[in-house]
């Protein structure tokens, strides 16, 4: 560290260790480093929320940069500007004196500038015999050069988050529209199902959308809205299958009656193999795979399982499945029951089922028997994890509202 690289503020302004650290860092900028000052300013403007800055703060920073004569900030150049408050006020579009001082302090706190105060607090420069600046007191712009790459990365992250938020909002709008219209169509056309409860869940989700939602807010509600949409489609599909089954049964009964009056050779398959294959394939119920749900949604619905993950947290499905084995043993579920659930549902869904059972363990007498029952229903295509997760999410949300 060079002698004199750390200075303290003039007057009542306090000195902090953060200011010491920043001044030391600016004295260690890589030799030969340079950056376009307006590119750095644009990056800082983009990242202003992350830096804790306001629009007025950026106007003051813009004014400070205008007093630096070159377009490039260079490590080997004089990076201290020394305008008076009156000059700064003019270039900052007539900002009031108290406001100017407040936003200068914010820029210092954000680590974008450093004060280098003279003995009497005035801002000025001393020049040598050749007219070059020998020493200056004012605002050091070195932190902008030092943090040029960091500010660029922060700006890129802000842009990416903004794009992600816009896409998430679009997806939520579309999903919300689809759910609303599916519920309305089901009610108007008299489809069987607990549509009042489903509509209440939908209204509850919509009411939770904040006026100014963050990406996390939108993704959380979108996960639950997509889950609700999937369950609605499942209900409608099951109803359609039931109607098709009834229609086919009626058609088959009529077909058998007609066949009795015709030659049996004209209506039977040409070979015994074809007949057997056709009848077995048509009559055997086909179990559709249970879809996996987003891990974040599962953890919001079943927060209790997180403490059983590696190091007391769950960050991936691998961690979730490891926690599922621990909880399975703790609940007294036999290895064979859990293995069967993994084979039928898939390991991710089996771990999710264990997490749901853990959340409701106070209401379940035999967790092992309960899991076996769920597995048998899943094997027959009669079970979905969706309703369980939705019920637990509603309970978690209600609990959060009561606590708040």
pLDDT digits (tens, 9 = 90+) for 217-272: 898 889 888 888 888 888 888 777 656 665 555 555 544 443 444 333 232 333 33
What per-residue confidence (pLDDT) applies to 17? Answer: 60
Find the range with the poorest average confidence among 206-210, 223-227, 238-242, 361-365.
Answer: 238-242
Which residues make Cβ contacts (< 8 Å) with residue 95, sequence separation at least 6?
56, 59, 60, 88, 89, 103
Q: For residue 295, what are the CA distances in angstroms to 13, 141, 215, 238, 348?
A: 49, 45, 17, 26, 9
Locate the DSSP E strands across 264-311: none
pLDDT greater than 80 at residue 319: yes
Name the residue among 348, 291, 287, 344 with its Cα closest to residue 314. 348
DSSP letters, 244-262, are: HHHHHHHHHHHHHHHHTTS
Exposed, middle or buried, 256 (CB in 10 Å: 0-12/13-18/19+)?
A: exposed
Residue 268: other Cβ atoms inside 10 A: 12
C-alpha 357 chain-centroid distance:
26
What per-residue confidence (pLDDT) applies to 387? Answer: 81
* Region for residue 27 given its phi and psi (left: phi exceeds 0; alpha: psi -120 to 50; beta: otherwise): alpha
Cβ-contact 121, 60 below 8 angstroms:
no
Give the C-alpha separation, 400 to 396, whole Å. 6
Residue with more model confidence, 350 or 256? 350
Q: Which tokens hold the place of 152? A: 């660029």
pLDDT band at 6 (very low <50, low <70, confident <90, very high): low
Which residues make Cβ contacts (< 8 Å) with residue 151, sequence separation at least 6?
40, 43, 44, 47, 144
What per-residue confidence (pLDDT) applies to 216? Answer: 87
Tokens 């644009």 locate to 42
Which residues make Cβ contacts (< 8 Å) with residue 135, sequence separation at least 6?
125, 126
Q: What are phi and psi of 116, to 5 degrees?
A: -125, 95
Cβ-contact 68, 79 below 8 angstroms:
yes
Cβ-contact 111, 75 below 8 angstroms:
no
Give the C-alpha separation, 215 to 165, whole Å. 5
3-state secondary structure of 14: coil
**What's the CATH fold of domain 17-152?**
Arc Repressor Mutant, subunit A (1.10.10)
pLDDT greater than 60 at residue 353: yes
Cβ-contact 356, 391 below 8 angstroms:
no
Residues of the chain with pLDDT > 90: what percent?
Answer: 40
| pLDDT tens figures, 230-240 | 888 888 887 77
Give the C-alpha separation, 178 to 176, whole Å. 5
| pLDDT tens figures, 123-171 | 877 877 776 776 788 899 999 998 999 999 999 999 999 999 999 999 9
Find the range with the poorest average confidence among 52-61, 119-128, 189-198, 253-262.
Answer: 253-262
pTM of the shown model: 0.57
Exposed, middle or buried, 391 (CB in 10 Å: 0-12/13-18/19+)?
A: middle
Cβ-contact 144, 169 below 8 angstroms:
no
Residues of the chain with pLDDT > 70: what percent?
Answer: 78
Alpha helices (H) in 47-95, listed in sequence order: 48-51, 55-66, 85-91
Residue 325: other Cβ atoms inside 10 A: 17
Crossing angle of the two packed helices 335-345 and 347-359, in degrees rounded to 10 = 120
């Amino acid at each position: 560290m060079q002698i004199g690289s750390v200075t303290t503020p003039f007057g009542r302004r306090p000195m902090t260790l953060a200011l010491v650290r920043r001044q030391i860092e600016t004295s260690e900028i890589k030799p030969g480093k340079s950056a376009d000052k307006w590119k750095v300013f644009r990056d800082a403007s983009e990242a202003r929320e992350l830096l804790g800055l306001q629009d007025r703060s950026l106007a003051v920073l813009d004014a400070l940069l205008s007093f630096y004569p070159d377009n490039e900030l260079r490590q080997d150049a004089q990076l201290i500007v020394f305008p008076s408050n009156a000059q700064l006020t003019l270039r900052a579009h007539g900002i009031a004196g108290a406001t100017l001082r407040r936003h200068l302090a914010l820029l210092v706190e954000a680590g974008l500038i450093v004060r280098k105060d003279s003995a009497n607090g005035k801002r000025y420069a001393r020049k040598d015999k050749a007219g070059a600046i020998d020493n200056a007191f004012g605002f050091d712009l070195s932190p902008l050069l030092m943090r040029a790459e960091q500010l660029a990365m922060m700006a890129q992250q802000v842009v990416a988050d903004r794009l992600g938020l816009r896409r998430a909002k679009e997806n939520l709008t579309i999903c919300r529209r689809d759910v609303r219209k599916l519920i309305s169509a089901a009610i108007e056309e008299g489809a069987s199902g607990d549509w009042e409860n489903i509509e209440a869940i939908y209204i509850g989700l919509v009411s939770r959308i904040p006026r100014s939602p963050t990406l996390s807010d939108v993704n959380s509600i979108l996960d639950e809205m997509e889950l609700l949409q999937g369950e609605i489609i499942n209900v409608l599909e099951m109803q359609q299958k039931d109607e098709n089954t009834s229609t086919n049964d009626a058609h088959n009964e009529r077909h058998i009656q007609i066949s009795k009056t015709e030659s049996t050779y004209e209506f039977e398959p040409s070979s015994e193999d074809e007949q057997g294959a056709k009848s077995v394939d048509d009559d055997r119920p086909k179990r559709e795979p249970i879809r996996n749900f987003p891990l974040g949604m599962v953890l919001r619905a079943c927060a209790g399982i997180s403490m059983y993950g590696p190091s007391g947290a769950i960050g991936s499905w691998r961690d979730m499945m490891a926690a599922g084995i621990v909880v399975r043993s703790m609940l007294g579920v036999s290895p064979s029951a859990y293995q069967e659930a993994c084979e039928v549902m898939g390991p991710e869904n089996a771990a999710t089922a264990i997490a749901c059972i853990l959340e409701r363990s106070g209401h379940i007498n035999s967790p092992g028997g309960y899991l076996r029952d769920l597995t048998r229903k899943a094997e027959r295509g009669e079970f979905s994890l969706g309703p369980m997760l939705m019920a637990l999410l509603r309970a978690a949300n209600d609990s959060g509202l009561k606590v708040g």
